[in-house]
């Protein structure tokens, strides 16, 4: 296993990556007055309890969980479990469980520690690292949230063996995004290892999860609250969140939407920033190898969402981009591997062409 430190002002924690990392949970919980676990019901059934004797709330994971009702349920659970500010809440599941658990921990008694134990590829390479927590609102994805750094993150790559092919492919969307942001070495590694990743080779999984965590950790340390450089991590996400909003949360897996967003962002970067067509070609090829659509046309066909993913509905979703100014979504584009620009405007004609 590999330990990656994330040192922020007044707070330091470790991200442990590798097969068996979740076995570190009891040690990290030692000394707490109480421990409670928010767990994906399916994960708990497949892999068993993390910490013997801990109060546990099992939930059905998925985007519908990230709601006001879901948040109230977890806060009520924390109260019923008698947690104090010296207690620990463990989020044991994929990105939706981690987002909800982190937000509840940030709010309960004005803040208690959360240990993230992500069990999906998407959560291990992205959602569990960096302290962003949120729930969805009818108006848009992740519009109500907070920054709440975890007490630790345990990325147990052995848990990825039980993911469905669809869940695993969704995670590869975030892997590809992070690789583009990380630079030529990171992108080249993902291209080299994609075949082994699809086969879920343990060494390839650990290598790529570690590489993605290191990229994200470096960005998070430079900008913990997304005031500047951290916005680079939103590559493809402005389009992706509009897709999820228009389709209905949960209809399109997040990583799948990110993959389409990367394809759209690559085309936009060619048109506006002088990005080479080679980068678009490499992005599309990686998405295809990962089993992910790279265009809206392909996405509509795969998911049967022609009536929902209309240009008008997607444009409405873009208007709720939480990172941009009022009515002006912020587009994050890559001019090259490791060369990301933020706040790039897109004219209406180009936007209409991309959303068609």
The residue ranges of every structural domain in the chain are 2-162, 165-208+227-355
Catalytic residue from among 141, 148, 254, 320: 254
307 is catalytic: no
Catalytic residue from among 174, 210, 244, 330: 174
278 is catalytic: no
Instruction: End-to-end CA distance of the chain: give it in Å, rounded.
Output: 46
165-208+227-355 folds as: Dehydroquinate synthase-like, alpha domain (1.20.1090)
Report the pLDDT value the prediction gives residue 95, as an integer from 0 to 100.
95
110 is catalytic: yes
216 is catalytic: yes
Catalytic residue from among 141, 142, 234, 244: 234
2-162 folds as: Rossmann fold (3.40.50)
Q: Give the pTM.
A: 0.93
Cα angle 255-257-261, degrees, rounded to a multiple of 5: 110
Output the CA torsion sign for 293, 92, 133, 128.
negative
Tokens 């990005």 label which residue? 275
pLDDT digit string (tens) for the chain, length 356 residues: 999 999 998 889 999 999 999 999 999 999 999 999 999 999 999 999 999 999 999 999 999 999 999 999 999 999 999 999 999 999 999 999 999 999 999 999 999 999 999 999 999 999 999 999 999 998 888 899 999 999 999 999 999 999 999 999 999 999 999 999 999 999 999 999 999 999 999 999 999 999 999 999 999 999 888 888 899 999 999 999 999 999 998 899 999 999 999 999 999 999 999 999 999 999 999 999 999 999 999 999 999 999 999 999 999 989 876 555 545 687 999 999 999 999 888 999 999 999 99
The C-alpha R_g of the chain, in whole angstroms, comes to 19
234 is catalytic: yes
Residue whose C-alpha is closest to residue 340's, from 208, 207, 215, 171: 215
241 is catalytic: yes
132 is catalytic: yes
The Cα–Cα gap between 265 and 131 comes to 25
Report the pLDDT value the prediction gives residue 346, as an integer from 0 to 100.
92
The alpha carbon torsion through 289, 173, 171, 59 (nearest 10 deg) reads: -140
The Cα–Cα gap between 99 and 116 comes to 10
254 is catalytic: yes
The Cα–Cα gap between 150 and 164 comes to 27
Contact 173, 127 (CB under 8 A): no
200 is catalytic: no
User: Which residues, 6 or more positions from 164, have their beta carbon under 8 angstroms from its beta carbon?
Assistant: none
User: Which residues, 6 or more positions from 1, have their beta carbon under 8 angstroms from its beta carbon?
Assistant: 16, 17, 18, 19, 20, 21
* DSSP state at residue 329: P
Report the pLDDT value the prediction gives residue 226, as an integer from 0 to 100.
87
The Cα–Cα gap between 295 and 299 comes to 6
The Cα–Cα gap between 236 and 264 comes to 7
């Amino acid at each position: 296993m590999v330990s990656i430190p994330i040192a922020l002002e007044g707070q330091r924690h470790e991200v442990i990556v590798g097969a068996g990392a979740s076995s570190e949970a009891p040690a990290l919980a030692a000394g707490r007055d109480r421990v409670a676990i928010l767990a994906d019901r399916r994960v708990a059934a497949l892999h068993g309890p993390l910490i013997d004797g801990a109060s546990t709330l099992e939930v059905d994971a998925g985007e519908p969980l990230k709601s006001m009702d879901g948040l109230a349920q977890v806060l009520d659970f924390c109260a019923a479990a008698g947690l104090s500010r010296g207690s620990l809440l463990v989020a044991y599941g994929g990105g939706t469980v981690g987002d909800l658990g982190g937000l509840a921990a940030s709010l309960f008694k004005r803040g208690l520690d959360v240990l993230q134990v992500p069990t999906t590829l998407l959560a291990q390479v992205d959602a569990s690292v960096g302290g962003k927590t949120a729930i969805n609102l009818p108006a848009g994805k992740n519009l109500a949230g907070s920054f709440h750094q975890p007490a630790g993150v345990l990325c147990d790559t052995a848990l990825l063996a039980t993911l469905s092919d669809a869940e695993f492919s969704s995670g590869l969307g975030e892997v590809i995004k992070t690789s583009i942001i990380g630079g030529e070495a990171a992108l080249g590694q993902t291209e080299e290892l994609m075949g082994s990743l699809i086969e879920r080779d343990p060494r390839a999984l650990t290598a790529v999860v570690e590489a993605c965590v290191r990229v994200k950790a470096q960005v998070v340390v430079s900008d913990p609250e997304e005031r500047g450089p951290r916005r680079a991590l939103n590559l493809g996400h402005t389009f992706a969140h509009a897709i999820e909003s228009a389709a209905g949360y949960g209809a399109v897996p997040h990583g799948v939407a990110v993959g389409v967003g990367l394809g759209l962002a690559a085309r936009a970067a060619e048109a506006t920033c002088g990005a080479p067509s080679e980068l678009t070609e490499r992005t599309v090829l990686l998405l295809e190898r990962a089993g992910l659509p790279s265009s809206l046309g392909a996405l509509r066909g795969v998911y049967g969402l022609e009536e929902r993913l209309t240009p008008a509905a997607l444009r409405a979703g873009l208007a709720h981009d939480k990172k941009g100014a009022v009515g002006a979504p912020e587009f994050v584009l890559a001019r090259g591997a490791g060369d990301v620009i933020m706040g790039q405007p897109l004219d209406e004609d180009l936007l209409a062409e991309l959303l068609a």
